[in-house]
Amino acid sequence: MTAGRGDAVSGGAGPVADWATDFDHTDPAWVADPYPIWADLRQRCPVAHSNRYGGAWLPVTHELVSEVAYDTEHFTSRSVVVSQRRPGPDAPPAPVGLSPPISSDPPFHGAARRMLLPAFTPKAIASLEPYTRELCRELLAATAGRSCFDAATEYAQHIPVRIIVKFLGFPEEDADLFRAFIKGVLEGINEPLDRRDVLLGDLDGYIDAQIADHIAHPRDDVTSFLLQAEIGGTRLTRNHVRGTMILLMIAGIDTTWSAIGASLWHLAQHPADRRRMAAEPELMGTAVEELLRAYAPVTMARLVSRDFDFHGHQLTEGDWLLLSFPAANRDPAAFEAAGEVRLDRASNRHVAFGLGRHRCLGSNLARMELRVALEEWLARYPDFGLADAAAVSWSAGQIRGPRTLPVSVR
């Protein structure tokens, strides 16, 4: 069994027999509406297992999700996206991982993360707010005169793409290309491995071209910063720079696109919440946190570092574990009326951005983008609804958000 750890493992094809023993986060039922599945598992398990992907676990309570997030001894971050290929125990990049610091373990993780933190403080992010607001207004202006359009593809998705383009200093016209890469990495986990390898190779090639361009023409952006950065007096390796750039690109785009889209999906169907947000602008901060709790887009993954007993379950080295922050956020043991959106929820220790040392680096950026996107949307379209509820589609895999969201505006 261990000999195959670095090799191909089974995928997620085929219908799910029982969510407790055969779960699959790419199954159409999960993609359409995962919340009843988790509620059922909370009663029955609360740690589900699947033989898919070479063996995977899924705790669905806030308590167990927290325990795993804090336990970097039994769980490694060397691969955070479940796929058909797991890094073997001797796969080269440990403890750096393919995309530091998300894929790194302590102690290397700390240094790789500290270097990036100053770029993401509230003060640093506040400087991007006017640009974000202008961008939202521009996107909304482009919808003028239309009664029906796709809020996911014509509004939500462009906001984080344009911000990350600016952040990393990539050509703006490459936005469609990034989206194809990101979709491939996050949603293409059941694609044939050779096709997946081509995609990952193309992504590396694209990033290398951007690095070469930044070496030839240094400028004031995160890519140039990474090329100059040092850890312990040594410049970062090329693999480290490329991996961090891929991380910032992937982690910064689908996630926020999903949070903006899911919030608009909620507001489209809840006129009372819409009216309240318009009438009480001071509620925006609390409302944004509640929307993040209820529609947390991001599920991370860990690999089990060594065999051990986890609450009566025999975890084996190399097993995947899906770290579902969205499921933790819907746990009634941790949140009163967990299934309800209460825009004025005063006590809200939600874990949409994770917990512990891997807390989402970009949380301040994501919050700012979500808040500004909603403020500008509601200012322009205080009254809107779903144009076709059946046409709404959701992304598959570890990032959950609407990918088609036809709305009618008034």
Binding site for another protein (CB under 8 A): 114, 117-118, 120-123, 285, 289, 346-351, 353, 355-357, 359, 363-364
Q: Which residue lies nearer to another protein by CB, 322 or 355?
A: 355
Q: Which residue lies nearer to another protein by CB, 228 or 347?
A: 347
**In 10 A of CB 134, how many CB atoms?**
12
Question: Closest separation between CB of residue 270 and another protein, Å?
Answer: 23
Could you tell me the two tokens for 269? 């169907």
Q: Which residue lies nearer to another protein by CB, 153 or 363?
A: 363
Q: Which residue lies nearer to another protein by CB, 22 or 71?
A: 71
Question: Closest separation between CB of residue 356 and another protein, Å?
Answer: 6
Question: Closest separation between CB of residue 115 and another protein, Å?
Answer: 10
Question: Closest separation between CB of residue 70 and another protein, Å?
Answer: 9
**In 10 A of CB 174, how many CB atoms?**
14
Question: Closest separation between CB of residue 122 and another protein, Å?
Answer: 6
Cα gap 362→352, rounded to integer Å: 12
Q: Which residue lies nearer to another protein by CB, 224 or 363?
A: 363
Question: Closest separation between CB of residue 121 and another protein, Å?
Answer: 4
Question: Closest separation between CB of residue 107 and another protein, Å?
Answer: 16
Question: Closest separation between CB of residue 127 and another protein, Å?
Answer: 14
Q: Which residue lies nearer to another protein by CB, 357 or 380?
A: 357
SS (HEC) of the chain? CHHHCCCECCCCCCCCCCHHHHCCCCCHHHHHCCHHHHHHHHHHCCEEEECHHHCEEEECCHHHHHHHHHCCCCEECCCCCCCCECCCCCCCCCCCCCCCCCCCCCCHHHHHHHCCHHHHCHHHHHCCHHHHHHHHHHHHHCCCCCCEEECHHHHHCHHHHHHHHHHHCCCHHHHHHHHHHHHHHHHCCCCCHHHHHHHHHHHHHHHHHHHHHHHHCCCCCHHHHHHHCEECCEECCHHHHHHHHHHHHHHHHHHHHHHHHHHHHHHHHCHHHHHHHHHCHHHHHHHHHHHHHHCCCEEEEEEECCCEEECCEEECCCCEEEEEHHHHHCCCCCCCCCCCCCCCCCCCCCCCCCCHHHCCCCHHHHHHHHHHHHHHHHHHCCCEEECCHHHCEECCCCECCEEECEEEEC
Q: Which residue lies nearer to another protein by CB, 28 or 356?
A: 356
DSSP lists the bridge partners of residue 303 as 76, 320
Q: Which residue lies nearer to another protein by CB, 363 or 404?
A: 363
DSSP lists the bridge partners of residue 48 as 58
Q: Which residue lies nearer to another protein by CB, 27 or 289?
A: 289
Question: Closest separation between CB of residue 346 and another protein, Å?
Answer: 6
Q: Which residue lies nearer to another protein by CB, 161 or 259?
A: 259
Question: Closest separation between CB of residue 279 and another protein, Å?
Answer: 21
Could you tell me the two tokens for 342? 């209460």
At position 11, the amino acid (one-letter code) is G
